[in-house]
Amino acid sequence: MGRTLYEKIWAAHEVACGPGGRSLLYVDRHLIHDGSFHAFEALSHAGRKLRRPDLCLATPDHYVPTRDRLNIPDPQVRGKMESLLANASAGGIRHFSMDDARQGIVHVVGPEQGFTQPGVTLVCGDSHTSTHGAFGAIAFGIGASEVAQVLATQTLWARRAKTLRINVSGTLAPGIASKDLILAIIARIGAAGGAGHALEYAGSAIRALSMEARLTICNMSIEAGARCGMIAPDDTTYAYLAGRPFAPAGADWDRALSRWRELPTDADARFDREVDLEAGAIAPMVTWGTSPEDALAVSALVPEGKPDALKYMGLEPGQRLEGLAMDRVFIGSCTNSRLEDLRVVAAVVKGRKAVIPSMVVPGSGLVKKAAEAEGLDKVFREAGLEWLEPGCSMCVGMNGDLVDAGKRCASTSNRNFEGRQGKGARTHLMSPAMAAAAAVTGCITDVRKLLAP
């Protein structure tokens, strides 16, 4: 019997089998951010050294300010920046500091540097590490003690997941983005629908996506309860990687390409479960509750059920989503802060004016530089949107980038949990295009009504 993409990579990295069905996996890539200080402290206390610092890449993202980066008044926040720099320097780890144009959100930086590659195992002390599965990798988030284990041994104990293939056939309609697609998938299978599974996204609609769109899909796999999300590498993957700083070059590139082409799931492989969706049936999606599974088409009505979520969100069953007033807009996060996302936002707001406070936070310094080279920053500013520095920002409610209690935020981030963007904040997840539409109309608006025919 053939093997799935997940099974092939797992088998190639399984060092030993242990009790309880767990395996010791070799880790190829390790991303580190400013929240990883606990792991370095644990290593220091144990007197352990880093096993393979050359396989690590560090950059601050969670705590970095998006405004005045040279003057951080909070000593605890400043201390986290300094701690990451000191730990990386002492251990010989590549580090992109705040004055480095390559600094940014780890899940944006890893792919754009070519650090993320097909067939690797990749970990990070952040749940949205599933993002990197878009390259055909096993990528997942780990806890602080596991970060320390990987730093010391370059291995990790893990349990092999079941496999779930999500087949998306057909073509996404104009105005429909990968964010709409993944919200539709999560709404279909539920926030626990992928629990215990590795998701593989397949089908003609997935193959038609750009790498940046694929990253959005895999990013939110964790919101379906999955351990990781994956998309088989193909020519789109290879074209994206070619020439990037950490990608193989010359004869090494040819050898890598030969290996990568063997990774896709075999035709006769079997999955533990399969789910089918039709891309053409997907509309712009918006969340109404306090879980990403609480997502509906923009034209839908708020459903009954989940009274606690309805109370927190200040909504009533039967209420229309379209036309619901927003108080502010956040465009950013590891889900939707790449150049492709920013181009879509600019296309919507160009020639229009934001009527509510709206902020755009690029995913990295290189994204910011590229956007400015195209003049996107001028479009944002002319439309009244705030153009900030790269970081996690309002996605996790850091450094004053908060939504006030009881206020609604149209957000391109990945989680709408209670208090995620501030105590009492009400988050409505949507695509960059939909968030841009909310910025210029002040309410949830079907962006297709604003797009040129």
Q: What is the pLDDT of residues 211-246, one digit of tens each?
A: 999 999 999 999 999 999 999 999 999 999 999 999
Domain assignment present for 402: yes
Let me know whether 301 and 404 are in one domain.
yes
- Tell me, yes or no, whether 209 and 316 share the same domain: no
Residue 83 phi, psi (nearest 5): -65, -45
Label residue 12 exposed, middle or buried (CB < 10 Å: 0-12, 13-18, 19+): middle
> Which of 20 and 89 is assigned the larger pLDDT?
89
Q: Is residue 175 part of a domain?
A: yes
**pLDDT exceeding 70 applies to what percent of the chain?**
100
Domains held by the chain: number: 2
Do 210 and 112 sit in the same domain of this protein? yes
At residue 21, the pLDDT reads 86
Q: Which domain holds residue 72?
A: 5-274
Mean pLDDT score, 412-422: 97
Does 164 map to a domain?
yes
Span 73-85, pLDDT tens digits:
889 889 999 999 9
Alpha-carbon distance of 224 to 69, in angstroms, equals 35
- Angle (nearest 5°) at CA 35 between 29 and 40: 70
For residues 431 and 309, membership in a common domain is answered with yes
For 21, 69, 237, the CA distances from 299, given in Å and listed in that order, are 46, 41, 35
- Using CA atoms, how far apart are residues 270 and 261, in angstroms rounded to an integer? 19
Model confidence at 139, in pLDDT bands (50, 70, 90)?
A: very high
What does the pLDDT average to over 8-14? 98
Domain boundary among 212, 240, 274: 274
CATH of the domain at 130: 3.30.499.10
CA–CA separation, 275 vs 359, rounded Å?
36
164, 235: one domain: yes
pLDDT at 370: 98
pLDDT at 418: 97
399 pLDDT more than 90: no
Q: Of 274, 303, 338, which one is at a domain's C-terminal end? A: 274
Same domain, 172 and 203: yes
Looking at the structure, tell me whether residues 235 and 116 fall in a common domain. yes
Domain boundary among 274, 304, 322: 274
User: Average pLDDT, whole number, for the chain?
Assistant: 97
| 210 & 345 share domain | no
CA-wise closest residue to 426 among 284, 302, 288: 288
User: Rounded mean pLDDT of 178-187?
Assistant: 98
Percentage of the chain surpassing pLDDT 90?
Answer: 96
Average the pLDDT over 39-57 and give the result.
96
For the cut 80, the answer to whether the pLDDT of residue 453 exceeds it is: no
* Residue 279, in any domain of the structure: no
User: Does the residue 453 lie in any domain?
Assistant: no
- To 10 degrees, what angle do helices 339-349 and 432-441 make? 30
Same domain, 31 and 152: yes
- In this structure, the answer to whether residues 55 and 202 fall within a common structural domain is yes
Q: Does a structural domain hold residue 338? A: yes
Looking at residue 69, what is its pLDDT? 86
Is residue 452 assigned to a domain? no
pTM of the prediction?
Answer: 0.97
Q: Say how many residues make up the chain.
A: 453
Convert the pLDDT of each residue in 381-395 to its tens digit. Answer: 999 999 999 999 999
Mean pLDDT of 122-146: 97
Per-residue pLDDT tens over the stretch 75-127 = 988 999 999 999 999 999 999 999 999 999 999 999 999 999 999 999 999 99
Give yes or no: residues 196 and 322 share one domain.
no
Q: Are residues 236 and 295 in the same domain?
A: no
SS3 readout for the chain = CCCCHHHHHHHHHEEEECHHHEEEEECCEEEECCCCHHHHHHHHHHCCCCCCHHHEEECCCCCCCCCCCCCCCCHHHHHHHHHHHHHHHHHCCEECCCCCCCCECHHHHHHHCCCCCCCCEEEECCHHHHHHHHHCCEEEECCHHHHHHHHHHCEEEEECCEEEEEEEECCCCCCCCHHHHHHHHHHHHCCCCCCCEEEEEECHHHHCCCHHHHHHHHHHHHHHCCCEEECCCCHHHHHHHCCCCCCCCCHHHHHHHHHHCCCCCCCCCCCCEEEEEEHHHCCCEEECCCCCCCEEECCCECCCCCHHHHHHHCCCCCCECCCCECCEEEECCCCCCCHHHHHHHHHHHCCCCCCCCEEECCCEHHHHHHHHHCCHHHHHHHCCCEECCCCCHHHCCCCCCCCCCCCEEEECCCCCCCCCCCCCCEEEECCHHHHHHHHHHCECCCHHHCCCC
Identify the pLDDT of residue 20: 86
Residue 280 lies in a domain: no
Q: How confident is the model at residue 1 (pLDDT cuts 50, 70, 90)?
A: confident
pLDDT at 385: 98
pLDDT number for residue 191 = 98
